[in-house]
């Protein structure tokens, strides 16, 4: 039952963030790029005032996976790096904290992950009994 509750919370928060983004696309003249940027900034601001961590603990992946989570990760990385390195941490902390996510995004956006099948692979797919 505990897992079901966690999934429902995550779905509700993640779904609400997605629905809000869709409403902003449909009802305003904001471009998707500006909305995405606003989500990152919202994550930074919510983290700065201490509201993001309680939300992330309550909602789990529903709050951590969207771009608000990325913004919070950037802000937390900067905060921690400034405490350790001083002013230099303001320039390096966000990148260091989010390096794994950035690397994964770059790696998975390579054409090999989104390329349509061709050649021998396409022929094998077309011969499959599951191909329609």
List, in order, residues 6 or more apart from 102 with CB less than 8 Å away: 95
Contact between residue 100 and residue 77 where contact means Cβ atoms under 8 Å apart: no
What is the greatest pairwise CA distance in the chain? 62
Given this model, what pLDDT does residue 106 score?
A: 83
33-67 pLDDT tens trace: 999 999 999 988 988 888 988 998 999 888 887 78
Least confident residue range of 91-95, 113-117, 126-130: 113-117
In a 13 Å sphere around the CA of 109, the CA atoms on its Cβ side amount to 6
pTM score, whole prediction: 0.69
70-85 pLDDT, tens digit per residue, is 888 888 888 899 999 9
Closest C-alpha to 47, from 70, 24, 65: 70
């Amino acid at each position: 039952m505990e897992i079901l509750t966690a999934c429902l919370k995550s779905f509700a928060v993640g779904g609400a963030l997605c629905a809000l983004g869709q409403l902003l696309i449909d009802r305003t003249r904001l471009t998707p790029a500006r909305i995405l940027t606003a989500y990152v900034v919202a994550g930074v601001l919510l983290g700065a005032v201490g509201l993001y961590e309680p939300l992330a603990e309550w909602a789990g992946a529903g709050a951590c996976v969207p771009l608000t989570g990325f913004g919070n990760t950037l802000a937390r990385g900067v905060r921690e790096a400034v405490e350790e390195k001083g002013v230099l941490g303001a320039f390096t902390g966000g990148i260091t904290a989010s390096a794994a996510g950035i690397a994964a995004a770059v790696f998975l956006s390579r054409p090999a992950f989104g390329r349509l099948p061709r050649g021998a692979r396409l022929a094998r797919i077309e011969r499959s009994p599951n191909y329609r």
